[in-house]
Amino acid sequence: MASIYQRPIAFAVTAAVVVLVGTLVTVIIPLFMPSTQPVKEYVKPYTAIELEGRDIYIREGCNNCHTQTVRPIRTEVARYGDYSKPEEFAYDRPFLWGSKRTGPDLARIGGKYPDAWHYKHMNDPRSMFAKSNMPAYGWLAKRPLDTSLSYKKTKVLGYGYTEEEVRRQIEEYRRKVTSPDYPAKKIRDQITPPELRDRLTEMDAIVAYLQKIGRDYKETQKGVVQAAAVETFEEMKNPYEGMPEAIEQGREIFQEKCSACHGPDAKGSIGPNLTDDEWKYGWSDREVFISISNGRPNGMPAWGQILSEDDIWKVIAYIRSLKI
Amino acid sequence: METKYDDWAVKGFAVSALFWLVVGLLVGLWIAVEMFYPKLNLTPWLSFGRLRVVHTNGLGLGFGLAGIFACSYYMLQRLTRTPLAFPGLAKFHVVLFNLAIALAALSLFAGMNTSKEYAELEWPLDLGVVIMWVVFAINVFGTLIKRQEKQMYISLWYILGMTVAVAILYILNNLEIPVSLTKSYTVYSGVNDANIQWWYGHNVVGFIFTFPILAMFYYFLPKATGLPIYSHRLSIISFWSLAFAYLWTGAHHLMLTPLPEWIQTVGLAFSIFLIAPSWGSVVNGYMTMQGNWDMMRTNYLTKFFIMGITFYGLQTIQGPTQALRTLTAFFHYTDWVIGHVHMGTMGWVTMTIAASFYYMIPKLYGREIHSVKLANVSFWIVLIGQLVYTVTMWIGGIQQGAMWKATNPDGSLTYSVLDSIAALYPYWKIRFLGGLIYFVGILIFIYNILMTMKRPTEGATEVATQAA
């Protein structure tokens, strides 16, 4: 009998079988294993708006520069937050873990900054971070959001919304971002052309999506991550108060980490003015330290895991120096 | 008996390959500048997120596949001593291919994109791609069945392997439910989608950037040097173990992610194993040159093939190594990986396709290459450009990885993400320079090939008795 090197069909069939063994074991069988599709109550499907935002994220190829999975590595958890869990991606079709981090990972971006931060940043990244190389996406605010396929999309994905519900979600979100009380109103109005201010734009949708990523998991962790150690100090005093060298270092840190929201002169932008006498969460060393270290609601991130204790004190020393 | 081969499709694909090569590289240069000069993101169509996909698809599917089809149709006929079974279908293949790639480029520019790497095309184009492969397969099998040479040579195994595997890979990863003509959702979700995507992503590299390129290597190296392949047995072992092991390894792209750990570990183990069959071909290539290494100087094409297979060897050591858990923790997501990919694509794939063209085009037109001197110049410029590119990205990647992991004595992070971006600007600039040098080398190669095609005929067309 002729060998398979003389019989092309037999050769091709053999090759297919050889190729299918590894495929079967590592890809096909796992499809039916619970470990690849864990379901947890806390993970919620995307709303119609978040889904539209996600589709814009895909359209613009954001996944070419941003990953969406935090690995269980100490420095990575310190930088981005808790490592990613398999159940978090139950509603992700496609998955968007990415393969390159030119910019930061976004798996825990939801709720990290206020909406206003995202509007400002998406519109012009370099107005907040001079060294950033992210493309500016201001044009998203100049395009009305197309929701004509929203219901069909949620249906294909099996999210279980009725058409009515999808319409309601869209209208509700429109009302939220166009309301005079919307915290990001000022910057939204600034970058949205007048004729679109009462309508939903692609920018609104992508901001909604960014605020959703990782948020379900974060909700379960509320109160757990508070840096307890800080609370135990009854009296805290800034060891760098009034020291010129420390103030200069504090200024450098402030320019890098804080100026994007509080303005380069600390007179406020997205975040409040730090040079006046209005201090919502208190003005003592201890209170300011806790504000910086643990963060505050409505957008102040917790810097305790990113900045060292010394660095936080230096920043406080710098802020204090502005008042005199 | 004299057989006339049907080389219209070979020529058509060769010219297509050169065209898409220029397009893909220009896009590559453009996005290389965007990395350090973001103002170049002039319009949505020219923004990095869209263009990067045009770059990878344009070169991988446009240039790479066209080169592969050209060489496959060429080798297929000569190794079977039989003209193509369906030459009209092959012509249709050329037209369909270019139409599909042009539409692919346009749709990706427009942001119609599934986000799955190397499978970004939306579903109507997926259908076009499948039809295109079926058209190719019909000719491969048809010609093989009609063949006049009993034994199938090594290169034919690799072409068959590619044809079978790509069908399985492409269809399985692209199962999607359409929402509209330009939008669909994959049928897989989350972890499974990731697993299938990287099983696909890795094996597309295996069966498009390895199998057919090895087919070229095994065919054109002996042709160019007149030396028979060192060991037939080694090539049998390499082929089957490569075909078997490749499919297990996709998970090394997903190390330390939420993918079940056993899949990661199995993927890692097979990745290490994969060094053996890869080096089987490398050793086979080196040993073929045994006693004739002076050809590196005297036969201008030898150095292309040997340099190409050397980068293949380095690539297949670097890949499994960087998949090790400790190293992937450091290197993954950094620019190191970009360096890794480009060593394979610029150093191995393009080098080998270029060498195959240098051999094949003069034969097709029955004349000598336009200029051996220019071919040598293009070799050195391409090599230097590629090395500047890859080495720069490796060093940049190490710095990036180190900055991400750096901590202060109190355990806090030393650098912000922004610090690590700012630190990479010099590397990205040098990378652009490397890409530019490489591009110049490629332009010389293309000029040389086009001039060879253009020069009036001197000799007769090749006949079957001279082949194989």
Collapse the DSSP code of B209 into the 3-class scheme (helix H, G, I; strand E, B; otherwise coil) and give the result: coil
**Res. A294: pLDDT tops 90:** no
Residue A99 touches partner B, C-beta closer than 8 Å: yes
User: Which residue in the block uniquely carries the two structure tokens 């080169």?
Assistant: B67
Q: Which residues from B are below 8 Å from A69, CB to CB?
A: 257-258
What pLDDT does B188 receive? 96
- pLDDT (tens place) for every residue of chain B, 468 residues total: 457 899 999 999 999 999 999 999 999 999 999 999 999 999 999 999 999 999 999 999 999 999 999 999 999 999 999 999 999 999 999 999 999 999 999 999 999 999 999 999 999 999 999 999 999 999 999 999 999 999 999 999 999 999 999 999 999 999 999 999 999 999 999 999 999 999 999 999 899 999 999 999 999 999 999 999 999 999 999 999 999 999 999 999 999 999 999 999 999 999 999 999 999 999 999 999 999 999 999 999 999 999 999 999 999 999 999 999 999 999 999 999 999 999 999 999 999 999 999 999 999 999 999 999 999 999 999 999 999 999 999 999 999 999 999 998 888 889 999 999 999 999 999 999 999 999 999 999 999 999 999 976 554 444 444 443
Q: Within this chain, do residues A213 and A232 fall inside the same structural domain, yes or no?
A: no
What pLDDT does B111 receive? 96
List pLDDT tens digits, range A169-215.
999 999 999 999 999 999 999 999 999 999 999 999 999 999 999 99
Number of domains in chain A: 3
**CB within 8 Å of chain B, chain A residues 2-21:** 2, 5-6, 8-9, 11-12, 15-16, 18-21
Mean pLDDT of chain A: 91
Distance in Å, alpha carbon of B185 to nearest chain A alpha carbon = 6
Collapse the DSSP code of B283 into the 3-class scheme (helix H, G, I; strand E, B; otherwise coil) and give the result: helix
Tokens of B327: 């190293």
Mean pLDDT of chain B: 95
What pLDDT does B360 receive? 97
**CB within 8 Å of chain B, chain A residues 135-174:** 135-137, 139, 149, 152-153, 156-157
What pLDDT does B465 receive? 40
Whether A40 is covered by a domain: the verdict is no
Q: Within this chain, do residues A59 and A10 fall inside the same structural domain, yes or no?
A: no
Instruction: Say how far apart CA A260 and CA A276 lie, in whole Å.
Output: 18
Please state the rounded mean pLDDT for residues A49-66.
98
Q: Which residues from A are below 8 Å from B175, CB to CB?
A: none
Whether A254 is covered by a domain: the verdict is yes
Q: Which residues from B are below 8 Å from A157, CB to CB?
A: 185
Q: Within this chain, do residues A81 and A206 fall inside the same structural domain, yes or no?
A: yes
Q: Within this chain, do residues A177 and A238 fall inside the same structural domain, yes or no?
A: no
| Residue that is last in its domain, among A203, A220, A237 | A220
List pLDDT tens digits, range A237-253.
888 988 999 999 999 99
Whether A92 is covered by a domain: the verdict is yes
Mutual orientation of helices B232-246 and B275-288 as an angle, nearest 10°? Answer: 150
Tokens of A298: 């409505």
Q: Which residues from B are below 8 Å from A60, CB to CB?
A: 44, 47, 49-50, 111
Q: Within this chain, do residues A232 and A216 fall inside the same structural domain, yes or no?
A: no
What pLDDT does B459 receive? 47
> How does residue A281 score in pLDDT terms, banded at 50, 70 and 90?
confident
What pLDDT does B80 receive? 97
Whether A38 is covered by a domain: the verdict is no
List pLDDT tens digits, range B52-84.
999 999 999 999 999 999 999 999 999 999 999
List pLDDT tens digits, range A74-103.
999 999 999 999 999 999 999 999 999 999
ipTM above 0.90, yes or no: yes
Written in H, E and C, the secondary structure of chain A is CCCHHHCHHHHHHHHHHHHHHHHHHHHHHHHCCHHHCCCCCCCCCCCHHHHHHHHHHHHCCHHHCCCCCCCCCHHHHHHHCCCCCHHHHCCCCCCCCCCECCCCCCCCCCCCCCHHHHHHHHHCHHHHCCCCCCCCCHHHHHCECCCCCHHHHHHHCCCCCCHHHHHHHHHHHHHHHHCCCCCCHHHHHHHCCHHHCCCCEHHHHHHHHHHHCCHHHHHHCCCCCCCHHHHHCCCCCCCCCCCHHHHHHHHHHHHHHHHHHHCCCCCCCCCCCCCCCCCCCCCCHHHHHHHHHHCECCCECCCCCCCCHHHHHHHHHHHHHHHC
Q: Within this chain, do residues A200 and A132 fall inside the same structural domain, yes or no?
A: yes
Q: Within this chain, do residues A184 and A101 fall inside the same structural domain, yes or no?
A: yes
Residue A230 touches partner B, C-beta closer than 8 Å: no
What pLDDT does B2 receive? 58
Q: Within this chain, do residues A296 and A232 fall inside the same structural domain, yes or no?
A: yes
Q: Within this chain, do residues A78 and A205 fall inside the same structural domain, yes or no?
A: yes
Instruction: Say how far apart CA A43 and CA B132 lie, in whole Å.
Output: 41
Whether A283 is covered by a domain: the verdict is yes
What pLDDT does A254 receive? 92
What pLDDT does A31 receive? 95
Q: Going from the N-terminus, what domains does chain B have, and what CATH number goes with each?
A: 8-466 (1.20.210.10)
> How does residue A235 score in pLDDT terms, banded at 50, 70 and 90?
low
The region of weakest confidence among A218-232, A272-286, B54-68, B423-437 is: A218-232
Q: Within this chain, do residues A206 and A105 fall inside the same structural domain, yes or no?
A: yes
Q: Which residues from A are below 8 Å from B172, CB to CB?
A: 23, 27
Instruction: Say how far apart CA A191 and CA B381 lie, in whole Å.
Output: 47
Domain at A307, CATH number: 1.10.760.10
Q: Which residues contact B327 (CB under 8 A, 6 or more apart)?
A: B321
What pLDDT does B3 receive? 72
Whether A187 is covered by a domain: the verdict is yes
Give the up-direction half-sphere exposure of residue A160: CA atoms within 13 A in the CB hemisphere: 3
Contact call for B141 and A311, based on CB within 8 A: no
Q: Within this chain, do residues A149 and A282 fall inside the same structural domain, yes or no?
A: no
Closest by Cα among B74, B53, B59, B48 to B24: B59
| Residue that is last in its domain, among A168, A192, A220 | A220
The alpha carbon of A34 is separated from its chain's Cα centroid by a whole number of angstroms, namely 28
Whether A43 is covered by a domain: the verdict is no
Distance in Å, alpha carbon of A253 to nearest chain B alpha carbon = 11
Residue A121 touches partner B, C-beta closer than 8 Å: no
> How does residue A225 score in pLDDT terms, banded at 50, 70 and 90?
very low
The region of weakest confidence among A36-40, A105-109, A226-230 is: A226-230
Q: Within this chain, do residues A21 and A69 fall inside the same structural domain, yes or no?
A: no
**Res. A158: pLDDT tops 70:** yes
Contact call for B412 and A78, based on CB within 8 A: yes
Domain extent at residue A253: 228-323
Give me the DSSP letters along B163-183: HHHHHHHHHHHT-EEEEETTE
| Residue that is last in its domain, among A220, A239, A269 | A220
Distance in Å, alpha carbon of A181 to nearest chain B alpha carbon = 32
Tokens of B175: 């199962």
Whether A42 is covered by a domain: the verdict is no
What pLDDT does B457 receive? 52
